[in-house]
Amino acid sequence: MVSDNYYPDVGGIAEHVHHLAVELRRRGHEVRILTSNFGNRRGEVPDPEHIHRVGKAVLLPSNQSFARIPTAWRPTRQIARYFARHRFDIVHIHGSLAPSLPIVSLRASHAINVFTFHAEFGHSLPYIVLKPLLDPYFRMIHGLVAVSESARDSTARYFPGDYRIIPNAIATDFFRPDAEPMPGLDDGRPSILFLGRIEPRKGLKYLLQALPQVVRRFPDARLVVVGAAPFGNRYEDCLDPDVAGHVLWTGAVPGEDRPRYYASCDVYCSPAIGRESFGIVLLEAMACARPVVASRIRGYRRVVEHDTDGLLVPPCDPDAIARAVCELLEDPARRERMGRAGREKALAYAWPGVAARVEEYYRELLARYPVPRCGR
């Protein structure tokens, strides 16, 4: 597995790579992870033997979020030696076709190259400008995977091909309805949860702008904001001072506590404004049997069925967010019904089944492309 993003950095791709690797090991495969040193200063946090880091990543704004761009001295030579030492059958790259670890790995690999595209985006000026330079690398990819139709269409607009849709997945034995609530959050107050990176495309400011309307109807309501802001902007300037005391800012939390935060809320809200190809956080909340309020964007519509396991609202609309949250807070029976439906849907995205589809695709590609393996 190759990814610019990996633990201790948090995010959908890091989660995907980790859990896919775990499931493939359970199925008898040897899996190693090649990534960068962003968020893990060399020597301070020892890695397991199967993780290899090259260079150090810097954080740059990209796609209304942030991209990690690794920098290293002669990375192609380093990675080629790593590939030759382990003689991989498959090099499975995650992310975007960018001049970082994905491109360097394609240049160094002599194995079967599989590429999973995770991002949704509109028109991409970098792809338009760099397409002549990127085309040779795209032709090195044997297997094209996208986590959703929107992720496929975003990339295929510039690099057409035969993409296999294999969705994201979640650990349904970890995110589960019987998780123990966090201390202090089990006091009976109506609770709304935002859990995710605090960055522009996640839309937190619209939830903060909706909070005064919620508090007017539910005077003891509480918003719990779980997540870190890469550049320190937590959007407090979007929050009415009169309801500032109704917001609990936790900052980043240990990964093992995430199910407990879902279990501590009545409603999970993801007001993302776009550029979300799938919505793993929605499935996490649903696996914990919590109803969701989410923006009606393409990636989220793939996951949430309106009025069955959650409510979909127009993006960037605080009034609509407030109405949806209040509808659910005032109707416990509806929340319970949606929670049961969400858990049932989440089970269809459990990692064992999704990993089996990835493994099947590997075998199909190995049969189709009997090319020499790296180091053989």
pLDDT band per the 50, 70, 90 thresholds, residue 279? confident
Cβ atoms of 68 and 201 closer than 8 Å: no
Cβ atoms of 359 and 26 closer than 8 Å: no
- On the question of pLDDT at 229 being above 80, the answer is no
Q: Tell me what pLDDT residue 228 has.
A: 83
- On the question of pLDDT at 374 being above 90, the answer is no
pLDDT band per the 50, 70, 90 thresholds, residue 373? low
**pTM flag (> 0.95):** no
Average pLDDT over residues 134-158: 95
Q: Tell me what pLDDT residue 121 has.
A: 84
Average pLDDT, the chain: 90
Q: Tell me what pLDDT residue 8 has.
A: 81
Cβ neighbour number for residue 332 with a 10 Å cutoff: 10
Handedness of CA 136, 140, 142, 148 (dihedral sign): negative
CATH topology of domain 191-347: Rossmann fold (3.40.50)
Among 89-93, 107-111, 196-200, 230-234, name the one with the lowest average pLDDT: 230-234
Every domain of the chain and the residues it spans? 2-169+350-368, 191-347
- 2-169+350-368 and 191-347 have identical folds: yes
- Give the highest mean pLDDT range of 8-12, 37-41, 64-68: 8-12
CATH number of this structure's domain 2-169+350-368, picked from the four choices 3.40.50.2000, 3.40.50.12280, 1.20.1440.230, 3.40.50.300: 3.40.50.2000
If we measure between CA atoms, which residue out of 145, 85, 84, 135 comes closest to residue 113? Answer: 145
- Give the highest mean pLDDT range of 41-55, 65-79, 265-279: 265-279
Q: Tell me what pLDDT residue 40 has.
A: 47
Average pLDDT over residues 63-79: 65
- On the question of pLDDT at 217 being above 50, the answer is yes
Share of the chain above pLDDT 70, in %: 90
- The per-residue pLDDT for range 317-338, each reduced to its tens digit, is 999 999 999 999 999 999 999 9
Task: Tell me the residue type at 347.
Answer: L
Q: Tell me what pLDDT residue 23 has.
A: 97
Average pLDDT over residues 126-147: 94
pLDDT band per the 50, 70, 90 thresholds, residue 39? low
Among 122-126, 170-174, 262-266, 372-376, name the one with the lowest average pLDDT: 372-376
- On the question of pLDDT at 43 being above 80, the answer is no
